[in-house]
Chain A
Amino acid sequence: MPKLTKQMDKVAVVRSLSHKSNNHEPSVYHMLTGRQNPALVVPRNARTRSDFPSFGSVLSAFAPPVDVPAFATVPRPIGHDGVTYAGTHAGFLGPKFDPLERAAAKGVREPETHPLTPLPDFPEARLVAREGLRKLLEKQDDGLQRGRLGTTWTPTAIGRCA
């Protein structure tokens, strides 16, 4: 690799990365989550919400919120034999911390976690309707808050007390 050779002044070569499994599924899970689960074997290694989270989802959970997804997977998550591997999403941290996936793994039945294009059964009209509902609820809530309180409370400046 002649081009990489020229960049090795920037690179630390770790020669002793080591664990005890010789099977793809538990090894992927261990490398991406830091947790071991030897029972993960295709096809029983699909992602579930009881999995430990991928490192990027952990980062996502602790990073200050920003207006872009904190974690993304490209070009697609690890998948084989019809299964997207456990260890590639947020697991028990929940969908909020799943990676943005540009595409689903090849040949799997599950869709990507946050598709860039809406799913066929989730047309844009539904997104617009949801957004409209959210705005309506916010407006009603705002009205209720005002109605109950009359005006917003302004703290009294420090001064006399009885």
Chain B
Amino acid sequence: MIASPRVRGAFDLGRESPRMRDRYGRNEYGESFLLARRLVEAGVKAVSVTWTYIAPNGAVNNVWDNHGAIASLGGISGFAILKEKYCLPPLDCGLSALLEDLADRGMLDRTIVAVAGEFGRTPKINPNGGREHWGAAQTGLLAGGGIRGGQIYGKTDKIAAYPTDTPVSPEDWLATL
């Protein structure tokens, strides 16, 4: 089954145009989003893309676990980490390309894209410009599969610490998928 030409073919990103590959981003995560689209086209029902940045020296960097001042990333501030080539910029490229591409191909109506972390981050910023773990509130993104775009669902208090309206549990989240 794994050796089937359809699956092997889906993993061959060389079949995509250079333009499409640039659009998703030529990095492990942009390519994972592109692979996700190719796997779904090949008949795969669910693709999980998990993002930890593997540095060229093989070091595992949990770039979204942004407490700031991560030694293996040069000890820069949390906000500086977000702007680096392994954090928000490739997410911006890859995720926007995926949404646009799925829509262009007429696949978005029957494909759900769900983006979340395992938890949010503390409302208050620490001295390293980072934030700690915070399960009580995070922002997730949902698109496609008949979900109405351009809407905001749920509310938190003024420092984004706790939901004040329609809390969404992981169970709700998964049941929606």
Given A7-B96, A56-B45, decide whether A24 and B133 contact each other with a Cβ distance below 8 A: yes
Q: Does B80 contact A (CB under 8 A)?
A: no
Q: Does B141 contact A (CB under 8 A)?
A: yes
Least distance between A40 CB and chain B CB atoms (Å): 11
Stretch at the interface among B14-22, B70-78, B112-120: B112-120
| Complex: A34 Cα to B151 Cα, angstroms | 24
Q: From A59, A68, A75, give the contact of B1 (CB < 8 A).
A: A68
Asked if B137 and A18 sit within 8 Å, CB to CB, the answer is yes
- Number of contacting residues on B, CB 8 A? 84
Stretch at the interface among A25-33, A137-145, A151-159: A25-33
Q: From B4, B46, B58, B153, give the contact of A13 (CB < 8 A).
A: B153
Q: Does A116 contact B (CB under 8 A)?
A: yes
Contact code string B51-62 (vs A, CB < 8 Å = 1, else 0): 010100010101
Q: Does B93 contact A (CB under 8 A)?
A: yes
Asked if A16 and B153 sit within 8 Å, CB to CB, the answer is yes
Least distance between B168 CB and chain A CB atoms (Å): 5
Q: From B36, B88, B171, give the contact of A1 (CB < 8 A).
A: B88
Chain B contacts for A33, CB-based, 8 A: 174
Chain A contacts for B103, CB-based, 8 A: 10
Would you list the 10 A-B pairs with minimal beta carbon distance, nearest first? A16-B154, A56-B46, A16-B163, A27-B118, A3-B96, A1-B92, A10-B149, A22-B133, A14-B140, A7-B99
Interface residues of B (CB under 8 A from A): 1-2, 4, 6-8, 10-11, 28-29, 31-32, 35-36, 39, 42-50, 52, 54, 58, 60, 62, 65, 88, 91-93, 95-97, 99-100, 103, 108, 116-120, 132-144, 147-156, 160, 162-171, 173-175, 177
Interface residues of A (CB under 8 A from B): 1-4, 6-24, 27-28, 30-34, 54-56, 59-60, 63, 66-78, 80, 88, 99-100, 102, 106-107, 114-116
A sample of 23 inter-chain contacts (CB < 8 A) reads A4-B95, A7-B96, A10-B149, A12-B147, A13-B141, A13-B151, A13-B153, A14-B173, A15-B152, A17-B138, A17-B140, A20-B135, A54-B48, A56-B48, A68-B43, A69-B2, A70-B44, A74-B36, A74-B39, A75-B50, A76-B50, A77-B48, A78-B50
